[in-house]
Amino acid sequence: MTGLHHMTNAIDSQLIASPAGSTILWPMIALSNIAQGSSVLAMSVLQKKNERAQQVNVPACISCYLGVTEPALFGVNLKYVFPLVCGMIGSSCAAIVIPFILTMIVGRMKLSNEEKFGKEPAAAVAEPQTENADASGTADSGAASGVKELKSILDGKVIPIDQVQDEVFSQKVMGDGVAIEPANTVVTAPADCDVTVVMADTGHACGLTLSNGLELLIHVGVDTVDMGGDGFKLFVNEGDHVKAGQPLIEFDSEKIKAAGHPCTTMLIVTGEGDASNVTLHSGMDAKAGETAVITWD
């Protein structure tokens, strides 16, 4: 991931210096995008019977081949890690088919039945359910965590995700969620959670996981990856455990606007984990750390 962002920044610099916007780096970045898309294509084949996974895999693969890599990276490759590595290996070898084959081989070994098919066979899940019930008095480990809502990550107006001025988000390629038109500039944790992904080079996004398995993505602004980290400050690292309301990212709204990007910030559910019946709340002014914007049973 770091390599991808360094390559993007290098292209931006060379485009400025080159006549008519030409650069010899375009084939390199195109190959990197295609390699990551090929890894997602392999995941789509591996998970062809997992309808929920396919809702992310197929549009992410198409977007990647068209040059938009974020759905593939956030929605698939970073989530499982090995597709990202396979894509990077394939890109370094200047071969399109290598990441597909590598991801297929590794995926067959690493993916569980649940990840391949969307659910495990009844015989496989019966025993673990009994064990959970004996250990905690309930088969719902998510309920035991006590987390039932996500607080707003910013002060501001909460809007439906389909109103965001970017099809990757509005078409819910990376998942469903809410968006906030910010009135302040410090993004905070929506609940107690673990930081599982950070965009160290750009500082514009991070991935979180709750104790019940709910997976989240926070993305500040639209197309802000193009800013190369200018105007962003990360307060957390991958692997950190944070408390609700703890600062995650600070951004400079004036720099984002000057770069021609909306400041709209997304809180997206990329994987539901043990939560069910997720309800999204929008159309109100929210207070960071106080207003519930996503709830579930």
Q: Please identify every residue annotated as catalytic.
A: 219
- CA 113, distance to chain mean position in Å, is 23
Side-chain half-sphere CA neighbours of 41 within 13 A: 18
CB burial of 176-204 (b: ≥16 within 10 Å; e: otherwise) equals ebbbbebeebbbbbbbbbebbbbbebbbb
Which runs of consecutive H residues, i.e. helices, occur in 2-96? 2-17, 26-46, 51-65, 70-72, 78-80, 82-92
Question: Shortest CA distance to 218 belongs to which of 242, 122, 137, 14?
Answer: 242
Q: What is the residue-wise DSSP string for 151-173?
A: E-SSSEEEEEGGGSSSHHHHTTS
- CA 173, distance to chain mean position in Å, is 10
3-state secondary structure of 191: coil
Are 189 and 245 in contact, with CB atoms under 8 Å apart? yes
Are 25 and 83 in contact, with CB atoms under 8 Å apart? no
